Amino acid sequence: MASEARVVPAQLAFLAIYNPALGPTDETFRDQIVYYYDRTTRLRRRTAAKKNEELERQLQEEENERLRQIGLAQGMVGFARGFSNGRAVDSIDTEKSRIVMHELESGWWIIAQQSIDLTRIPVPASTPTKSAEPTAPTIEYSARELLRAHSIFLLHNGTSLYSMYSRHPRPKFCNLLERFWNRFAGTWDVLLHGNPAVDIYGGLQLAAGGELGVGVGEEEWGSGEREVLEDFAQRTEGLVDLVVARFDEPSEAQRAQGTRDAKSKRPLDAEPWMGTDRPVQAADGVIFSGVGAISRNSLRDVSHWVQWVYAYGEQAYGVKENPGSTRRKPKKRIEAPKLDKGKERADKRSADTSTPTLRSPPPGTSPPGIPRPIVSAAENSLASAISAAEDRRAAEPQESEGWMKYLTLGYGSGRGNKPSSADNTDDASDRPMQTVPPNPEPDIDELATRLQAQLHLEDNGHFVIGLKGPLDENITDPDPASDSDSSTNTRIPVRTLYIELPQEAPTAPSPPSPFESGQTTPRPTPSPPGGPRSRLRVLIYAHRPFIYTFLFDPHTPPLSYASFYKSLHAFFAPLHAPLAASTSAERAAARMAAAQGGVGGTEQVFDLLYDPVGLGTRCSIPNIPLPGTLVVDGGWSRQEALGCHAAVVEVARGAGGVLERSVKTGRGWWVTCGKGGGACAEGEGGHTGGTEE
């Protein structure tokens, strides 16, 4: 019986970074590999570690596989250069996989060779005919996400791989690569997802309404808010630049503020705004790109990293953990549960006041110095005294109950159905003694409490990187005259970025890398590629739906004081409501429709604008719906989205020097690309049903 056919989605098999100059001989060939990630070997290693079988043999096989893949990649690169006028090969397609290679820097290669296993769709058995042509599934894929990830890695760790290898020892350098690329490879989706039409250009994604307005007459577009932000950036001590981005819409609790329903509770099914791995939508993006103190390339990289912060929250790279720290967390030791201090003191006090335990004499013997008849008489009298005391104690509750009825005239005797005191004494004698805390805590759902706390922070504003915790707490700054170091505040983590500053005059090209000439020992280059970079301290303030990114001089004194962060929070809180209204996606769509006079008929038009000079991208093409989603708002199905985005990517790649190019998809959508004045505009139009003519 044939096995049931199923769809196998494309997956990443392995990812590697290498430099041929690090191991030019056969003996040092393995030194070329500075990073290697293999999905299949990781699974086998976990299984072998659990079974503890043939671990050494598998490690040797993994080493041989690494060397074979890197050697094959170098051979293909050298072979392809003979047919492409010296240009390096970008990708190679096979029947079941795609090989992606890219030279990140001079001599440094990243390869996903035989790693993107293409989606295999089972084809039902049928009688072959001569007219039928075999069709293989294709995937439009490029190295855009690898380049974006490499830019974010350099944003946190250095100016280039070349300079990092020269500055750090090899173990630390490899550890930095492993910490970043392992996280990226584990979450990398190699299929078409999100908005490939925007990602293919790799630019700075703007919000639905673009950036804030400028000058008089654009108050509805946020020109007043722009003036406030620009003035704040210029008069704040140590602030180099400021970037503001918008994601999603305000919450229901924020919309209800200032109304009668402001005190209503949040819905029970409310989800967090950040850290849910929610993809960035077409209407999300930057609304204020700063005052021009940093280059457009660094501004684009910062915006891409902010998108990761929005998607992953504190788990994003460079937020919770310091990227430059190579210290590993110590393993947790399983220890016996410890009592709290109050319980320990109570146990110690009870042990001190308790009667010491006396050793009983051996049977048949009496205490030394006391005759046996006296001892037996004392024991009998003691037993009789104990029995008399118990009888007297049993009779006391009945007398007290009679006096209570007499004094209260019988009221309250039939309420509560109290058990008899005799039963209470019996149950108390049977139950073991327990230590009761002085202030017992009620049972609380920790997950629900943490969720409500996160929603409260998102609705009222908090620092993702900066002063941790609620900003309404009373925190006193350390005394500057004291000997304590104020910069060691554990609630204020320090994170820095390598930012490229704009160049006033063009600089001379950097000398060629020594890797190209065959040198084995790297030497620092006098001018890193892309211009010099400065190390700036970054703060991220999130107030749904906005994320503010502050770039400060790392030596700014106020960054060590909690009052400075509270003043930032107090300054931007009144700006939240007007900024949310002027950058709303619905208002932007209404203003554009009014300016264009509306769209006649039943057609639906989406557009994409890209500025290659300013690297700005504004797009209204919806994202590709997630797998399992049939139709989203507006009738945009997953099949239509995949076809349209694939057509946009194909048209953008093949445009070249053509001023205008168009193509029609199989579901009735036209894709047109036109170039003019250094900008490229993409337009999509078609029937609302998406049917073929």
Are 354 and 360 in contact by the 8 Å Cβ rule? The answer is: no
Mean pLDDT of the chain: 74
Interatomic CA distance for residues 125 and 264, integer angstroms: 60
For residue 22, what are the CA distances in angstroms to 17, 74, 503, 629? 12, 14, 33, 48
Question: Is the pLDDT higher at 319 or at 664?
Answer: 319
545: pLDDT strictly greater than 60:
yes
Binned at pLDDT 50, 70 and 90, residue 550 comes out as very high
For residue 211, the model assigns a pLDDT of 92
Q: What is the pLDDT of residues 358-408, one digit of tens each?
A: 444 454 554 555 555 555 666 676 677 777 777 666 655 555 566 566 555
For residue 34, what are the CA distances in angstroms to 73, 307, 479, 523? 15, 28, 47, 17
For the segment 558-582, the average pLDDT, to the nearest whole number, is 93
For residue 527, the model assigns a pLDDT of 38
Question: Is the pLDDT higher at 362 or at 224?
Answer: 224
Interatomic CA distance for residues 342 and 582, integer angstroms: 56
503: pLDDT strictly greater than 90:
no
Question: Is the pLDDT higher at 233 or at 585?
Answer: 233
- Assign 3-class secondary structure to 35-82: EEEEHHHHHHHHHHHHHCCCHHHHHHHHHHHHHHHHHHHHHHHHHHHC
For the segment 97-118, the average pLDDT, to the nearest whole number, is 77
Interatomic CA distance for residues 516 and 676, integer angstroms: 39
For residue 291, the model assigns a pLDDT of 93
For residue 170, the model assigns a pLDDT of 94
Give the Cα-Cα-Cα angle 635, 652, 136 (nearest 5 degrees): 75
Q: According to the per-residue pLDDT averaged within each range, which of 127-136, 154-163, 342-351, 382-391 is highest?
A: 154-163
For the segment 465-477, the average pLDDT, to the nearest whole number, is 80
Are 196 and 648 in contact by the 8 Å Cβ rule? The answer is: yes
Interatomic CA distance for residues 561 and 548, integer angstroms: 19
For residue 571, the model assigns a pLDDT of 95
* 671 strand-pairing partners: 663, 684
Nearest to 17 by CA among 146, 116, 141: 146
Are 309 and 340 in contact by the 8 Å Cβ rule? The answer is: no
- Assign 3-class secondary structure to 92-126: EECCCEEEEEEEEECCEEEEEEEEEECCECCCCCC
484: pLDDT strictly greater than 70:
no
Its CATH architecture, for the domain 11-121+137-177, is: 2-Layer Sandwich (3.30)
For residue 220, the model assigns a pLDDT of 85
Q: What is the pLDDT of residues 397-456, one digit of tens each?
A: 555 566 566 555 555 554 444 444 444 445 545 555 555 555 655 556 778 888 888 899
Binned at pLDDT 50, 70 and 90, residue 221 comes out as confident
- R_g over Cα of the chain: 36
For residue 530, the model assigns a pLDDT of 60
The tokens describing 503, both together, are: 């160049």
Q: What is the pLDDT of residues 652-671, one digit of tens each?
A: 776 666 678 888 888 788 88
Are 106 and 517 in contact by the 8 Å Cβ rule? The answer is: no
Interatomic CA distance for residues 674 and 185, integer angstroms: 35
Question: Is the pLDDT higher at 322 or at 60?
Answer: 322
Residue 188 CB: number of other CB atoms within 10 A? 17
* 648 strand-pairing partners: none
Binned at pLDDT 50, 70 and 90, residue 4 comes out as very low
Binned at pLDDT 50, 70 and 90, residue 685 comes out as very low
Q: According to the per-residue pLDDT averaged within each range, which of 92-106, 332-346, 452-466 is highest?
A: 452-466
487: pLDDT strictly greater than 80:
no
For residue 674, the model assigns a pLDDT of 82
For residue 71, the model assigns a pLDDT of 84
540: pLDDT strictly greater than 50:
yes
Q: What is the pLDDT of residues 155-187, one digit of tens each?
A: 999 999 999 999 999 999 999 999 999 999 888
Question: Is the pLDDT higher at 211 or at 678?
Answer: 211
For residue 293, the model assigns a pLDDT of 94
Which segment of 34-38, 110-114, 147-151 scores lowest on mean pLDDT? 110-114
Binned at pLDDT 50, 70 and 90, residue 522 comes out as very low
599 HSE (CA, 13 A, CB side): 14
60: pLDDT strictly greater than 90:
no
Interatomic CA distance for residues 347 and 352, integer angstroms: 9
For residue 132, the model assigns a pLDDT of 36
* 670 strand-pairing partners: 664, 685
For residue 436, the model assigns a pLDDT of 54
For residue 298, what are the CA distances in angstroms to 47, 273, 615? 43, 26, 11
Q: According to the per-residue pLDDT averaged within each range, which of 108-122, 146-160, 182-196, 521-535 is highest?
A: 146-160
Are 249 and 545 in contact by the 8 Å Cβ rule? The answer is: yes
215: pLDDT strictly greater than 70:
yes
For residue 5, the model assigns a pLDDT of 46
243: pLDDT strictly greater than 90:
yes
* 674 strand-pairing partners: 660, 681
Percent of the chain with pLDDT over 70: 62
Are 39 and 14 in contact by the 8 Å Cβ rule? The answer is: yes
635: pLDDT strictly greater than 70:
no
For the segment 41-47, the average pLDDT, to the nearest whole number, is 56
Are 620 and 282 in contact by the 8 Å Cβ rule? The answer is: yes
- Does the model's pTM come out above 0.85? no
Question: Is the pLDDT higher at 205 or at 113?
Answer: 205
353: pLDDT strictly greater than 60:
no
Cis peptide before 509 (omega within 30 of 0): no
Q: How does DSSP assign 348-393, residue by residue? A: HHHHHHSPPPPPPPPTT---TTS-HHHHHHHHHHHHHHHHHHHHHH
Angle formed by the axes of helices 296-312 and 144-157, nearest 10°: 100
Residues with Cβ within 8 Å of residue 49, at least 6 apart in sequence:
55
Q: Return the domain boundaries, the chain.
A: 11-121+137-177, 210-324+449-474+489-502+530-582, 594-693
Angle formed by the axes of helices 372-408 and 421-430, nearest 10°: 130
